[in-house]
Copies of this chain bind each other. A is one copy, B any other.
Amino acid sequence: MARIIGGLGSPHAPSIGTATDKDQEQSPEWKPLFDGYAPIRQWLDVQKPDLILMIYNDHANTFFFDKYPTFAISVAAEHEIADEGWGKRPLEPIPGNPQIAWQLAHSLVDQEFDMAVCQEMPLDHGCLTPMSCFFPPAKRWDVPLIPICVNVLQPPIPTAMRCFKLGQAIRKAVEAMPQDLRIVIAGTGGLTHQLGGERYGHTNTEWDQKILDLMETDPLALANMTHQELMERGGAEGVEIIMWLVMRGALSPKVDCIHRNYYLPMVTGFAQVIYEEPDNRRRNSGDAA
């Protein structure tokens, strides 16, 4: 049986990808962020998952408002690197897993999630930044990727609760798969930021810490918040944390938070987490039968 072994949280700002590509991960300004990826890289190294489900948002690079989906899933065998207007990142295309992705798409649509199903999905920084942070050059691309894209760009965007339920539906779908797969799900984006209007650069560290507390121990409190509340506290783009709720919804009510990091250098509250499934911890420590 396939199962989800844990969830990751990660920012996805394009500046982080640039720091990686320019070999600045250890510069004084970036070190506090990339130190937060060390435990994630190590955990992935030990866990060796078979697949990453990446919950991310496009920033009008793959989709435009002529036809903007609420939720989209890639069933592609390979994902091109998108050119966002400043040249492609020097990354190889990232392999997908069509067989699992088609199964997932069927299961989600059967469960009344109205996914756009994509046989081609070039990826922008929303997905590429976390991928290049999770997997340093020597590890690219050992683990295939299924990207799931969420509209956070232009209302109407899905409610926080709908995102949490999507996570629950993903877990159901995974647990019905006969294959013996160990899957990691990642939520990306946020935390606090706003990139448009006089309120550009709004930050809120207190709220960011509260998000991280609730995400771990009481995600339904977040899922019950309106976009208005989330945007008021966390900025217009801070609403991206609904993508973390998809990840959280796919995990057990009680998770082991084995890593949490926070850094706010410029305009965005960057946070990383590892939530391990209790079941996975038991198996690894030999407690399970």
Contacts and interface: CB of A to CB of B under 8 A. Distances in A.
Interface of A: 63, 65-72, 105-106, 108-110, 112-121, 154-159, 161-162, 165
Nearest to A150: B114
A230 to B, nearest CB: 15
A67 B66 contact: no
A23 to B, nearest CB: 35
A246 to B, nearest CB: 12
A163 to B, nearest CB: 10
Contact of A118 (B68, B118, B119, B159): B68
8 contacts: A65-B117, A67-B72, A67-B116, A67-B118, A68-B116, A70-B114, A105-B156, A110-B159
Given A109-B70, A165-B112, A156 B65 contact: no
A114 B114 contact: yes
A118 to B, nearest CB: 5
B109 A158 contact: yes
- Secondary structure class of chain A's binding surface, majority of residues: loop
Nearest to A69: B116
A70 B121 CA distance: 16
A67 B121 contact: yes
Contact of A119 (B66, B71, B114): B66
Contacts of A159: 109-110, 112
Interface-centre pick from A68, A69, A108, A114 (highest chain B CB count, 10 A): A114
Nearest to A117: B68
A106 B110 CA distance: 23
Contacts of A161: 112
Contacts of A158: 109, 112, 114
Contacts of A156: 105-106, 108-110, 115, 117
Given A70-B114, A71-B114, A110-B159, 18 more contacts: A63-B67, A65-B117, A65-B119, A66-B118, A66-B119, A66-B120, A67-B116, A67-B117, A69-B69, A70-B109, A70-B117, A106-B156, A109-B157, A110-B156, A112-B162, A114-B162, A115-B156, A117-B154
